[in-house]
Amino acid sequence: MKIFLICPVRGITEEEKNVIEQYVLNLEEAGHTVHWPPRDTDQNDSVGLRICQDNRKALEEAEEIHIWYNETSQGSLFDLGMAFALRKKVVLINRKRARRTPHKSFINVLLAINRTKRY
């Protein structure tokens, strides 16, 4: 299966990076093809437009989207919006850390769509 992994690139903690890297390795060892933006999207872009375009292409080609949600990652929110517009199945991989908020929020959206097959 082709998987696009949404995750923070800038401002990522060392702990997050290590956990995500192991997650990617596990998926690839299981035979999946993973597009992991810190590794697979050229991050050398002073504006960010080409990064967004490259990620959109990879999102379109993916069969499933996995996300390590970090509310401070603007790029992750942008990619999540594209995944939503493309009607892709989204799998929240750090669900154990996810806490529902009493008000509308992106984490509440992720928790809601993870209860269904597709949205």
Contacts 24+ apart (CB under 8 A), 12-21: 12/38, 12/70, 12/73, 16/68, 16/70, 19/68, 19/94, 20/68
| Domain harbouring 84, CATH code | 3.40.50.10400
pLDDT score at 117: 43
Give CA–CA dist 106/119, Å, rounded.
14
In a domain, 118, yes or no: no
Percent of the chain scored above 70 by pLDDT?
A: 96
Total tally of structural domains belonging to the chain = 1
Q: Dihedral, CA atoms, 37, 42, 44, 50, nearest 10 degrees?
A: -90
Q: What is the pLDDT of residues 68-78, one digit of tens each?
A: 999 889 999 99
Q: What is the pLDDT of residues 32-52, one digit of tens each?
A: 999 999 999 999 999 999 999
Domain that holds residue 10: 2-113
In a domain, 82, yes or no: yes
Helices 49-61 and 74-85: crossing angle in degrees, nearest 10, is 40
In a domain, 11, yes or no: yes
In a domain, 119, yes or no: no
Full pLDDT tens readout for the chain, 119 residues: 999 999 999 989 999 999 999 999 999 999 999 999 999 999 999 999 999 999 999 999 999 999 999 988 999 999 999 999 999 999 999 988 888 889 998 899 898 888 644 33
In a domain, 51, yes or no: yes
Q: Model-level pTM?
A: 0.89
